[in-house]
């Protein structure tokens, strides 16, 4: 069971982060300079974050879907990455529908659902879904290496970029190592085991996994130093030309963010 869970988690990580096939398609965002894609997505995310009015949030919700369609990204792929997160946020914020004061709409188990509470729950969930959808479209259309290159062009500190790169790469190694340990344990186990025996084996497995993880980190560090990693790192140092369409996309996204901020300030 644990082996199956580790395999599932590894598969989910790979399906979320690795999207070379989609990123290689001929689409709108794939044709944009990675820096423009990152800046435009960040501006749209700011617009979503600052929005509080339900009408503004509803107007921003179709934006990631439009970008996905223009970039030849399946809406099913976007939904698979965003609906679970939106549903989780809905479950967390659902009690606010009963706690907010205001005009009562309906009673459920003796508790009144208010108009303001329901509006807050719907707006919050829609904001979460829109923000996660924008990130999903960014991941699906822009390779991770290009995102890192864009961060370098934005003069993000090299140490921070390096930590991001190593974390990204190490996630796959982490779960692959765990899956190998679980498979080895299952392959050497014969017969049924009680709950106490399972807990003892899990403790031993956790200790072994921690030691192997530390050893692997030491080997990675030594390999980096042997290849010149003792110098200040400069990963993914790339350049690219920015076209008029890239500028227009970023300007439009910034205009959306500013408009959302102005509307919130006026209201």
**Cα(95)–Cα(91) distance, integer angstroms:** 8
Domain count, the chain: 1
In a domain, 212, yes or no: no
73 pLDDT more than 90: no
Helix, strand counts (H, E) of the chain: 12, 2
In a domain, 150, yes or no: no
Best mean pLDDT range from 157-166, 167-176, 229-238 = 157-166
In a domain, 193, yes or no: no
DSSP string of 172-188, one letter each residue: HHHHHHHHHHHHHHHHT
In a domain, 73, yes or no: yes
For all residues of the chain together, what is the average pLDDT? Answer: 78
In a domain, 149, yes or no: no
Domain that holds residue 132: 20-142+237-266
Confidence band of 26 (pLDDT split at 50, 70, 90): confident
219 pLDDT more than 70: yes
Of 57, 65, 60, which Cα lies nearest the Cα of 82?
Answer: 65
**Under a CB-based contact definition with an 8 Å cutoff, are residues 236 and 164 in contact?**
no
In a domain, 66, yes or no: yes
In a domain, 152, yes or no: no
Q: What is the DSSP letter of 25?
A: S
**Under a CB-based contact definition with an 8 Å cutoff, are residues 129 and 86 in contact?**
yes
What six digits make up the tokens of 92?
């967390």
**Cα(99)–Cα(203) distance, integer angstroms:** 43
Q: Is the dihedral of CA 224, 229, 230, 232 positive or negative?
A: negative
In a domain, 13, yes or no: no
pTM of the model: 0.73
Mean pLDDT, to the nearest integer, of 5-34?
A: 66
pLDDT digits (tens, 9 = 90+) for 179-199: 777 777 766 665 666 667 767
């Amino acid at each position: 069971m644990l082996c199956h869970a580790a395999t599932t988690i590894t598969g989910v990580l790979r399906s979320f982060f690795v999207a070379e096939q989609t990123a290689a398609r001929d689409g709108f965002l794939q044709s944009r300079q990675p820096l423009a894609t990152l800046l435009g997505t960040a501006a749209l995310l700011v617009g979503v974050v600052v929005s509080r009015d339900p009408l503004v949030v509803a107007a921003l919700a179709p934006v990631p879907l439009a970008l996905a369609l223009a970039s030849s990204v399946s809406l099913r792929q976007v939904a698979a990455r965003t609906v679970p997160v939106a549903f989780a946020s809905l479950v967390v914020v659902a009690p606010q529908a009963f706690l907010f004061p205001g005009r009562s709409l309906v009673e459920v188990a003796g508790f009144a659902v208010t108009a303001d509470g329901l509006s807050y729950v719907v707006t919050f969930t829609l904001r979460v879904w829109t923000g996660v959808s924008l990130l999903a479209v960014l991941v699906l259309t822009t390779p991770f290496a290009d995102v890192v290159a864009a961060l370098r062009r934005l003069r993000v500190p090299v140490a921070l970029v390096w930590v991001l790169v190593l974390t990204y790469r190490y996630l796959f190694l982490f779960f692959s190592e765990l899956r190998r340990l679980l498979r080895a344990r299952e392959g050497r186990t014969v017969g049924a085991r009680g709950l106490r025996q399972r807990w003892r084996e899990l403790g031993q497995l956790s200790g072994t996994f921690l030691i192997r993880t530390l050893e692997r980190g030491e080997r990675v560090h030594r390999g980096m130093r042997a290849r010149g990693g003792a110098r200040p790192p400069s990963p993914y140092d790339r350049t690219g030309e920015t076209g008029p369409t890239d500028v227009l996309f970023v300007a439009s996204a910034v205009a959306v963010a500013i408009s959302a901020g102005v509307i919130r300030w006026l209201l």
